[in-house]
Amino acid sequence: MMRPDLDIIQHWIAPGSRVLDLGCGDGSLLEYLKTNKNISDTGLEIDERNIQGCLSKGVNVIQQDLNKSLKNFSDKSFDTVLLTQTLQAVNYPDVLIDEMLRIGKNCIVTFPNFGNWRSRWYLFWKGRMPVSNFMPYQWYNTPNIHFCTVRDFDELCRERNIKVITRTVVDHKHQGNWYIRMWPNLLGETAIYHISR
Amino acid sequence: MPKTIPENSVGIVTPQCLHFDEPLILRSGKSIASYDLMVETYGTLNAARSNGILICHALSGDHHAAGYHKEADAKPGWWDSCIGPGKPIDTNKFFVVCLNNLGGCAGSTGPTSINPETGKFYGPDFPVVTVRDWVNSQKRLMERLGINQWAAIVGGSLGGMQVMRWAISYPDKLRNAIMIAVAPKLSAQNIAFNEVARQSITADPHFHEGRYLEHGTYPKKGVMLARMVGHITYLSDSAMREKFGKAAEAMTTDAIKSNFGRDLSSGKLSFGLDTDFQVERYLHYQGERFSERFDANTYLLMTKALDYFDPTVDFDGNLSKAFANSTCRFLLMSFSSDWRFPPERSREIVDALLEARKQVTYLEIEADQGHDAFLLPVPRYMEAFGTYLQRVSDEVNS
């Protein structure tokens, strides 16, 4: 089954376009887009098991660390640059987003919304960093070092003059419910932004 | 001698000598009127003739890439770790072709062949051949074999440079270009090492201006020295510490363990000019073995081919322009401890391919063995290589 955020973003990707997936995992998304949208695919990944997954799927993967420079990619060399569920794990999220907007004509960013009511509830009542199926790590061993909320990301876009083409917020089963649209930062678990500059 | 030939070996193989009569015009402007190429093949060409893989050898390689020539052979071909049934270059799926390049000394026409014009050994008169010339001769071999497109062309080091040249010169003739431990062109440091190697050969009193065969001798010491310096650049510091620090490793105190691979060859210092350390003895041994099988003039030619290689020469020095017409997929793999062609050199190629909007996959393999790692069965390397080629097989054998 496809992650709900992936199901939504595929509609934002033009058939036949050039797609760069930063932190592409085992290449599932790129493989899906290649099969169904005939995209030309490039993924960046550093985990060996994930790279092996890309190889077995025939996905083009470059072993490259997102926390180091992306200078080897030239301006507007891709139609769409993707960053799914990885923003919170990078060293400098704002720098990376600037780089994505330089490399891609448009970008898609998805991240877990830390403003979700469950996180708030957990922190409020237990006074401890939230741990759930969705965010299964303890504070000391989590790869997620830069959590943010929907409102935080909106603010970043405003500060940096980033154009938000579409913003969607979903939880693990419902998507696009009126009440999630009404209170995205409270009810949404995953935020999905389609942005450009 | 292997007691029994391992099951995942291609087994006993017989090279064949193919003769070519059409003159080959070389990049230097000279030409070779006719020539022989020594070739080995493993596996079976499928009905569509689409499962061919060409192996390009590096500086000291030849056509004998896998298997054994006879049961008594002590060692298999130079890339037996990669080629065979169930190995990354799986001979159950692919028809694998490897040749000794022109100018070589393993049976293809080269300095040790007789020049038909003079009736004497070519020796130093054998023209300087370049990577481009080799690829042109390999293209003729391809036509002779009735192959219209290679499923993949594969090479490490100087072999990878030939792969690059194929992708640039004959873009429609390969589906996949696989370059391992390669560089887009040599650095000044690389050329410097090659020049030391050449000087050691030409300064040997038995070199006789390259006509040593006519004098019934050969520059053994020179080739030894050339190989010794080359060999050092193929290994990493840590690989040498490991290789020559075994005796110390077995000892108990940490102080001795950190002896940096300084195992002694005879147990005590000689306080003279004899070899004291195992690494010295090892280099002598390697150099000596090499000098017995490898022709000095061929060594000079191969290092020149390396020095001259520059795929950007027709493209204003721009590597991504050189790849503009390439249509194949590219796979590059580099090794973390390779200081001869370090990972950054592979990334130059990867970046040029990205700039040219080509399909490229790049892996940097953690390995201690230095440049030599490309010849060794490093687990992650083998696994990735095999997985990539499995996809290629699915495409061409379906």
Catalytic residue selected from B64, B371, B372, B393:
B371
Residue A52 contacts B, CB cutoff 8 Å: yes
CATH architecture, domain B186-308: Orthogonal Bundle (1.10)
- Any idea how long chain B is? 398
Say which CATH class B16-185+310-396 falls into: alpha beta
Can you tell me the distance from the alpha carbon of B350 to that of B332, in angstroms, rounded to the nearest whole number? 8
Look-up of token digits 């310096």: B229
8 Å CB contact of A52 and B387: yes
B246 pairs with which residues across the strands? Answer: none
Question: Quick check: A46 and B366 in contact, CB under 8 A?
Answer: no
Question: Quick check: B328 and B174 in contact, CB under 8 A?
Answer: yes
pLDDT at B380: 97
- The residues in B 298-327 lying below 8 A from A, measured between CB atoms, are none
Catalytic residue selected from B157, B169, B334, B346:
B157
Write down the mean pLDDT value for chain B: 94
Q: Which of B351, B384, B391 sits opposite A52 (nearest CB)?
A: B384
8 Å CB contact of A52 and B390: no
pLDDT at B251: 58
B105 vs chain A: nearest CA distance in angstroms? 37
Write down the mean pLDDT value for chain A: 92
| Residue extents of the structural domains in chain B | 16-185+310-396, 186-308
Exposure of A157 in the CB half-sphere (CA atoms within 13 A): 21
Residue B357 contacts A, CB cutoff 8 Å: yes
Is B371 an annotated catalytic residue?
yes
pLDDT in tens, chain A (197 residues): 566 777 889 999 999 999 999 999 999 999 999 999 999 999 999 999 999 999 999 999 999 999 999 999 999 999 999 999 999 999 999 999 999 999 999 999 999 998 888 889 888 999 988 887 777 889 899 888 898 999 999 999 999 999 999 999 988 776 667 888 888 888 888 999 999 99
* Banded pLDDT at B267 (limits 50, 70, 90): confident
Can you tell me the distance from the alpha carbon of A61 to that of A64, in angstroms, rounded to the nearest whole number? 9
* Banded pLDDT at B290 (limits 50, 70, 90): very high
pLDDT at B162: 98
pLDDT at A184: 87
- A16-39 in b/e burial notation, b at 16+ Cβ within 10 A? ebbbbbbbbbbbbbbbbbbeebeb
* Per-residue model confidence as pLDDT tens digits over A21-50: 999 999 999 999 999 999 999 999 999 999
Catalytic residue selected from B57, B338, B346, B372:
B338
ipTM here: 0.92
Is B206 an annotated catalytic residue?
no
Which residues constitute the domain of residue A72?
Answer: 4-196
Q: Which tokens hold the place of B398? A: 């379906």
Closest CA to B105 of B44, B52, B158, B38: B38
Domain count, chain A: 1
Is B365 strand, coil or helix? strand
CATH of the domain at A156: 3.40.50.150
Is B157 an annotated catalytic residue?
yes
B114 pairs with which residues across the strands? Answer: B121
Residues of A in contact with B387 (CB under 8 A): 52, 55-56
Can you tell me the distance from the alpha carbon of A42 to that of A64, in angstroms, rounded to the nearest whole number? 12
The string of DSSP codes covering B93-149 is T-EEEEEPPTT-SSSSSSTTSBPTTTSSB-GGGSPPP-HHHHHHHHHHHHHHTT-SS
Residue A73 contacts B, CB cutoff 8 Å: yes
B300: part of which helix (H) or strand (E)?
helix B296-308
Average pLDDT value for residue range B232-248: 86
